[in-house]
Amino acid sequence: MILSASDCERIEKFWAYCQKHQYFNIGYPESADFDYSALYRFFNFSINNCGDWQEPSNYALNSFDFEKDVMRYFAEYFRIAFDDSWGYVTNGGTEGNMFACYLARELFAQGTLYYSKATHYSVIKIAKLLQMKSCVVDCLENGEIDVADLLRKIQNNHEKNPIIFANIGTTMSGAIDNITQIQTGIAQLGITRDQYYIHADAALSGMILPFVDQPQAFSFADGIDSICVSGHKMIGSPIPCGIVLAKRENVERISVNVDYISARDQTISGSRNGHTVLLMWAAIRSQTFLQKKQRVQHCLKMAQYAVERFQANGINAWRNPNSITVVFPCPSEAVWKKHYLATSENMAHLITTAHHKDTQKIDLLIDDVIEDLRGKTQRTA
């Protein structure tokens, strides 16, 4: 590749910028502790996983064999027999959510999509694109769906086929909707298991819960119909990606024949990224279960540390069980801008992702928040 001198300079500047900000991330869930350099040489190839990896393809440069391994791994972690599952590597959590809602709508054309106020904003786009009726449900204070409100709304709507969009870790507070309570409640309304659908949006926490001692209900064994996870969050990836996994029997109802690639294609996009499949495969294969567990446990410990440090300084910080998201009162704009924090209403959060090997960056942020909030209470006093 030949670039002009000024373009070279521009790229060099961007390189320096990226290096400087490599580990900037404390307000967002993207882990940056990865090293995929062994795979760089594959960027010489136009790999394309167009279509379903389970069908033969005439496009020779695909990484379907690796995608099979990746999906087998997630099926095991999310407790569904591999042969009973169907899924693929997506462009991220949103595509996984979209696929799941599409699947649910095909199964229940008249079904309403129920989701809590704390749900990721992608659900609104998805409901619009798929022209689904939707219904917003209240949350409890910790960000979990208010199951009583959900059941009330299902009943008031005379809903026959509710489609539940459950959060397995909300974006703002890492709250996990109570799948067991939801299922028991729906059964009590006289709606049988084959009349409703539950999707689990596990963008971040889907790769935390398999590694904790007491996970909340979240898997196929707990009764979900589909799940999605982002690859660039807990696992970490230089390119956004994710996985979606559903029940094979449901997916088989929505397949479409596409002649020119000689493949049956149930995926949302056409061409699909074959490189991120290799990244996910390498991430899975390069660490033992114990190493992955230690990494997750480290993040959880750091989150607990942050909560305790805030509280020791009189700041009302908290986190949900098994969550690496620490919620605290929103500081002044200068502080959240300086630390690139995501804020919502009067809340801010920090996320103790795996590239925080020690508490250095976390402490800098906490110091700033303590000073800022102390100033605020003095001003209002």
Ligand X SMILES: *Cc1c(COP(=O)(O)O)cnc(C)c1O
Residue ranges binding ligand X (CB under 6 A): 92-94, 120, 122, 167, 169-171, 201, 203-204, 230, 240, 242
**322: how many CB neighbours lie within 10 A of its CB?**
21
CA–CA dist 262, 255 (Å, integer) = 13
- Nearest distance in Å: CB 213, ligand X: 23
Q: Mark whether 323 is an active-site residue.
A: yes
CA–CA dist 266, 247 (Å, integer) = 13
Catalytic residue among 255, 323, 332, 344: 323
Nearer to ligand X, 62 or 122 (CB): 122
* Token representation of residue 31: 């882990």
- Nearest distance in Å: CB 118, ligand X: 9
Report the run of H or E that residue 200 belongs to, with start and end.
Answer: strand 197-201
- Nearest distance in Å: CB 166, ligand X: 10
Nearer to ligand X, 113 or 370 (CB): 113
Residues 6+ apart with CB under 8 A from 196: 108, 111, 161, 162, 163, 164, 186
CA–CA dist 276, 273 (Å, integer) = 6
| Residue closest to ligand X (Cβ) | 93
Nearer to ligand X, 242 or 309 (CB): 242
Cβ atoms of 68 and 53 within 8 Å: the answer is: yes
Cβ atoms of 198 and 345 within 8 Å: the answer is: no
Nearer to ligand X, 98 or 365 (CB): 98
- Nearest distance in Å: CB 38, ligand X: 24
User: Among 42, 71, 372, 13, which residue's Cα sits nearest to residue 245?
Assistant: 71
Residues annotated as catalytic are: 323
